[in-house]
Amino acid sequence: MRILFVHPNYRSGGAEIAGTWPPAWVAYLTGHLRQSGFDEIHFIDAMTDELTDADLAEKMEAIAPDVVGVTAITPSIYRAEDVLKIARDVAPQAVRVLGGVHATFMYKQVLTEAPWIDVIVRGEGEEICTELMLAIEDGRFPADRHKIKGLAFIEGDQIVATQAASTVKDLSKIKPDWSVLEWSKYIYIPLGKRVAIPNLARGCPFTCSFCSQWKFWRDYRVRDPKDVVDEIEDLVENHDVGFFILADEEPTINKKKFVAFCQELIDRGLPKRVKWGINTRVTDIYRDKDLLKFYRKAGLVHVSLGTEAAAQMKLDVFNKETKVAENKEAIRLLREADILVEAQFIVGLDNETPETLEETYKMAWDWQPDLANWSMYTPWPFTPLFQELKDQVEIFDFSKYNFVTPIMKPAQMERGELLDGVMNNYRRFYMKKALFNYPWRGTGFRRRYLLGCLFAFLKAGVGRTFYDLGKAGYWGPQTKNTVDFHFDETRQLAEAQLDDWEASADKAARAKERREAVKAQTIARKRDFKMPNGTEVKACGGGNQQMEDV
């Protein structure tokens, strides 16, 4: 059976300005499928190859697949639907499959607007996809589709979802096949090295209100560090990868496993051959301040910190559980350990003003991270924060939900003014860094890396690809009132499907609420209770102190 995976051609001028990123999803699915005997798997990276729909149709027709599979994040959902529409036309015999975060939670809307999709895989893909492919190969699809957990499909005039499947419990079975990719295409511009995005852990125990990842993965699980380093060693030895970024939401949560991962890299001599970066929380940097130089020894050179917002009020809205003062100290600690640090700011909520944008710039310069990034708040329709703010959301064109387009309109600003304010922050921060910091910031690796980052920014700026500025028609402050984001205003919003979807963090939050409610009731009863003779209630032995909670 011939399986074809396609990565849709979608660009926004965000993360891709730093390089061409390998679609890790196809390696993880392919590896799992090969373990079940599927050996004819093809892959087309329409994004990296910048294929037109006509080019894609020609390649797809030549392969004549039995199955066409696509994944999509929210902003690429329409392009993914287009890929499967092409499959319907040029490979009508193929089963058309869609997966990914957006389709998992918005399957009713997706199947309504793209009824040519045969089946949606909801949730973590490896096990569900393999079971689906076995059913197709055996001729049991679509007859047995009701028996496979984690699917959604159209049946008659109804949209049906089978019971949600379990998450992958045995992570030792996760063995990606990175050979499915053409590695010469995937280059990290700042270092000029091949780049990979392996995965140490899945999920996140925290519940940041703007994030969907903890909801999608449901359980927080960590792979065996030796298995992950085996994977990285393969990437270095067989695919000449010189830089990788761990795909985890926060790989440092499990300190013991992260330290073991670093030690395994050191024991195999890999830090001399490959450098790497992570995203993590300010609180973990505090916790591990005595280990930062050890992490640097293991090859960690770039940390992106979710500082998120300059105003503490915003941090509270995002449920980040961090304090503004901690951000500056975490950045200082990382720089002392010779680890480059990137500060992430989220802007564009309803209460954004020119003054709050200026505040984020001043804080970024005061904190002195090596890099700073301002991302537009993007209201994923399946996140807790969206439920609170949805009455303020006016744009439902998901192709613009990309962190670079201002979906929300602040009460006191126009969207063009918001974009101009963000660009002004970028201009000032990186111009001062370029003139007074990067060229003089030491020698060797750090200096080369920073200048490489500056080159990536300049390249995207000159090409007008940064933040989709060329498409929006932004050429500086003089154009802020004429910017056109080309929103498709015909798009409407449907409700997310979360009824059968429960994350471990959801369960933990409810259990905590129950414990606190019981505790409050117990305290109230103690306070109100009196002995029959009216004397004070005392502990055993006549004392008045109670045992503390443990």
Write the DSSP symbol of residue 353: -
Tell me which fold the domain 3-161 belongs to.
Rossmann fold (3.40.50)
* Segment 377-400, tens digit of pLDDT: 888 888 877 878 888 899 999 999
pLDDT over 60 at 485, yes or no: yes
Q: Given the structure tokens 């984001």, which residue do they identify?
A: 485
* Segment 164-180, tens digit of pLDDT: 999 999 999 999 999 99
Q: Given the structure tokens 């089963």, which residue do they identify?
A: 95
Rg for the chain, CA atoms, rounded: 25
**Cis peptide bond upstream of 142, omega within 30:** yes
Instruction: Give the Cα separation of 83 and 197 in Å (integer).
Output: 24
Task: Provide the percentage of residues in the chain whose pLDDT is more than 90.
Answer: 70
**Who's near 229: CB < 8 A, 6+ residues apart?**
261, 264, 265, 268, 270
The answer to whether the CB of 26 falls within 8 A of the CB of 181 is yes
Instruction: Give the Cα separation of 337 and 285 in Å (integer).
Output: 11
pLDDT over 90 at 340, yes or no: yes
Structure tokens, 174:
């996760």
Q: Output the pLDDT for position 438.
A: 86
Q: Where in the chain is the domain with CATH 3.30.750.200?
A: 251-479
Residue 186 CA to its chain's centroid (Å): 19
Instruction: Give the Cα separation of 417 and 353 in Å (integer).
Output: 10
Pairing of strands 371-376, 340-347: parallel
Q: Where in the chain is the domain with CATH 3.40.50.2300?
A: 3-161
Is 3.90.10.10 the CATH classification of the domain at 251-479? no
486 pLDDT band, cuts 50/70/90, is very high
The answer to whether the CB of 2 falls within 8 A of the CB of 65 is yes
State how far the alpha carbon of 49 is from the alpha carbons of 5, 60, 185, 503, in Å.
Answer: 14, 14, 8, 36
* Segment 201-242, tens digit of pLDDT: 988 877 777 777 777 777 889 999 999 999 999 999 999 999
Instruction: Give the Cα separation of 206 and 508 in Å (integer).
Output: 10
Instruction: Give the Cα separation of 18 and 11 in Å (integer).
Output: 12
